[in-house]
């Protein structure tokens, strides 16, 4: 009997050891995988980490703070980073600072608004609250100082909607705030749909926002009517472009100095495959910045034009992007290239 | 960690539900909030534990803001102006 017991005990430990070594082997593989992921794709690593935190926060409520903080910061900061790709100081990131009973008073005394965050079941509400607190500060203080308040806020709202585009509930809450905030402002009411349509073709982040920020930084610290007019002019210009009704694609102002060149349809450039007419237009425009744009199959031609402008008119290519966006009601490849006078 | 870091960021001060009760006690407004006797600084709706959205201090007095996005947004704008 004793012999049988000790035999089955040995067998049990052997079995346990084999299970444990298997488990450790898998953990080892997982750790190596996470280290590689962290090094190769920090963005994906962060997403996985946030999901793990979300699950863990069901077990430990304290982790819910950690989860909310990482989740909100990731959502905002990754978008802010991609916006800053087109101009370095377009927008700022977000940092969640947790306060507790010990220091809440000190934050309130320093003039902060303390925003309440609920458990993760109210994730959309938490994200929306954080964004509401973030929106008035999205644009740098220099931009806020020279830009008309309502216009700056309208632009900030569009940036925030872009950040939360995959979160319908957050977008709904932002829209609700917008509709109340601007219920008496006819100018902004008219402007917001235009900004949103410009954003649908991703021209908001690539052209409008960087140009506005740059113009405001040039104008700082003076708030001038010229600046406002030129910004409004650019918005109208981009809106006309989005609507396919672009007539005078040049702004030669004090703060904005640019031309938009849209590559014509293939059938229209059949007899001008080298795009001489477009090149001549770029030369005549004689502006600081040129944006070359095309939709669908024209991307290759547009890239060719960008290269020619760069080589023959001595412009520097700042960026060339081909991306999918809505164009005349369908998802299409859009080309956007930017050149600056050397 | 792999968090997206930007050179400049906006600080958003947050109070989690885990610490809410204790913080409200410390500020001396817990009973008023639970009793629903306070009203939103912006829209003047009654504010209780269910719809408390934010807190702010103006002229030494603690003000409460309800959880409507527009009220929180307006309060933050106000605090920005006051700080400037």
Is 60 exceeded by the pLDDT of residue B3? no
Q: What does the pLDDT average to over A313-330? A: 88
CB A192 within 8 A of CB A183: no
Residues of chain B found within 8 Å of residue A114, distances taken between Cβ atoms: 13-15, 54-56
Question: For residue A267, what pLDDT band results from cuts at 50, 70 and 90?
Answer: low
pLDDT reading at A332 higher than 90 = no
Q: Could you tell me which residue, A276 or A211, shows the higher pLDDT?
A: A211
Q: Quick one: pLDDT at residue A82? A: 86
The contacts of residue A95 (CB under 8 Å, 6+ apart) are A73, B9, B10, B11, B12
End-to-end CA separation in angstroms for chain A: 93
Window 279-298 of A, Cβ < 8 Å to B: none
A342 pLDDT higher than 90: no
DSSP H helix total and E strand total for chain B = 3, 5
Please name the residues between 17 and 56 in chain B that touch chain A, using a CB distance below 8 Å: 17-20, 22-23, 25-27, 52-56
Does A187 have pLDDT greater than 90? no
pLDDT over threshold 70, residue A75? yes
Residue A58's pLDDT band (boundaries 50, 70, 90)? confident
B3 contacts on A by Cβ (under 8 Å): 46, 70, 73-74, 77
Question: How far apart are the C-alpha atoms of A196 and A178, rounded to whole Å?
Answer: 13
Whether residue B32 is contained in a domain is answered as: yes
pLDDT of the residue at B6: 56
Which of A298, A300, A280 has its CA nearest to residue A290? A280
What is the C-alpha R_g of chain A? 27
The pTM for the full model equals 0.81
Residues of B in contact with A102 (CB under 8 A): 26
Q: For residue B1, name the pLDDT band (cuts at 50, 70, 90).
A: very low
Q: Do the domain assignments include residue B75? A: yes
Q: In terms of pLDDT, which residue wins out, A5 or A127?
A: A127
Residue B62 has pLDDT above 90, yes or no: yes
Residue B4 pLDDT more than 60?
Answer: no
Q: Taking 50 as the threshold, does the pLDDT of residue A53 lie above it?
A: yes
pLDDT greater than 70 at residue A209:
yes
Name every residue whose Cβ is closer than 8 Å to that of residue A58 and which is 6 or more positions away in sequence. none
Q: What is the mean pLDDT of residues A302-321?
A: 93
Q: Which pair of tokens denotes residue B17?
A: 């539900």
In a domain, residue B72? The reply is yes
CATH class of the domain comprising A256-342: alpha beta
Q: Which pLDDT band holds residue B2 (cuts at 50, 70, 90)?
A: very low
Is the pLDDT at A278 greater than 80? The verdict is yes
Q: What's the pLDDT at A40?
A: 85
Identify the domain containing residue B65 by its residue range. 17-83
d(CA A29, nearest CA chain B) in Å: 20
- For A286-295, what is each residue's pLDDT tens digit? 999 999 999 8
| 8 Å CB contact between A108 and B79 | no
The domain locations on chain A are 37-247, 256-342
Distance from CA of A116 to the nearest CA of B (A): 5
- Write the DSSP string, A306-323: HHHHHHHTTEEEEEEEEE
Q: pLDDT of A8-39, one tens digit each?
A: 788 888 888 888 888 888 888 888 888 888 88
Please give the helix or strand (H or E) that residue A93 lies within, else none: strand A93-98
pLDDT at residue A120 tops 80: no
């Amino acid at each position: 009997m004793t012999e049988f017991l000790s035999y089955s005990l040995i067998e049990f430990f052997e079995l346990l050891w084999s299970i444990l070594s298997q488990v450790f082997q898998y953990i080892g593989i997982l750790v190596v995988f996470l280290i590689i992921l962290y090094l190769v794709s920090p963005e994906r690593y962060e997403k996985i980490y946030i999901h793990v935190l979300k699950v863990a926060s069901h077990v430990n409520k304290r982790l819910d703070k950690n989860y909310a903080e990482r989740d909100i910061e990731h959502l905002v900061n990754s978008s802010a980073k991609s916006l800053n790709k087109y101009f370095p100081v377009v927008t700022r990131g977000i940092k969640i600072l947790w306060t507790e009973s010990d220091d809440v008073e000190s934050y309130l005394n320093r003039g902060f608004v303390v925003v309440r965050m609920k458990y993760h079941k109210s994730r959309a509400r938490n994200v929306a609250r954080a964004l509401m607190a973030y929106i008035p500060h999205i644009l740098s203080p220099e931009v806020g100082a020279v830009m008309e308040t309502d216009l700056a806020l309208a632009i900030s709202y569009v940036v925030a909607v872009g950040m939360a585009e995959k979160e319908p509930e957050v977008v709904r809450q932002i829209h609700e705030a917008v509709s109340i905030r601007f219920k008496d402002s006819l100018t902004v009411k008219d402007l917001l749909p235009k900004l949103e349509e410009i954003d649908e073709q991703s021209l908001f982040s690539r052209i409008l926002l960087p140009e506005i920020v740059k113009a405001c930084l040039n104008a700082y610290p003076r708030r001038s009517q010229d600046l406002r007019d030129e910004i409004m002019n650019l918005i109208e210009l981009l809106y006309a472009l989005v609507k396919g009704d672009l007539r005078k694609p040049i702004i030669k102002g004090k703060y904005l100095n640019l031309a938009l060149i849209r590559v014509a349809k293939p059938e229209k450039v059949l007899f001008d495959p080298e795009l001489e007419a477009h090149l001549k237009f770029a030369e005549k425009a004689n502006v600081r910045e040129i944006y070359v744009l095309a939709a669908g199959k024209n991307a290759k031609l547009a890239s060719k034009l960008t290269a020619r402008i760069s080589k023959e008119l001595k412009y520097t290519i700042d960026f060339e992007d081909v991306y999918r966006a809505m164009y005349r009601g369908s998802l299409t490849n859009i080309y956007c290239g930017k050149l600056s006078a050397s | 960690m792999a968090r997206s870091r930007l050179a400049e960021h906006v600080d958003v001060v947050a109070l989690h539900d885990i610490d809410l009760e204790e913080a409200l006690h410390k500020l001396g407004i817990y009973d008023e909030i639970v009793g629903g006797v306070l009203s939103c600084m912006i829209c003047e709706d009654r504010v209780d534990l269910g719809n408390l959205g934010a807190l702010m201090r103006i002229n030494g007095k603690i003000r409460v803001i309800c959880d409507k996005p527009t009220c929180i947004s307006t309060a933050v704008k106000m605090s920005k102006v006051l700080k400037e």
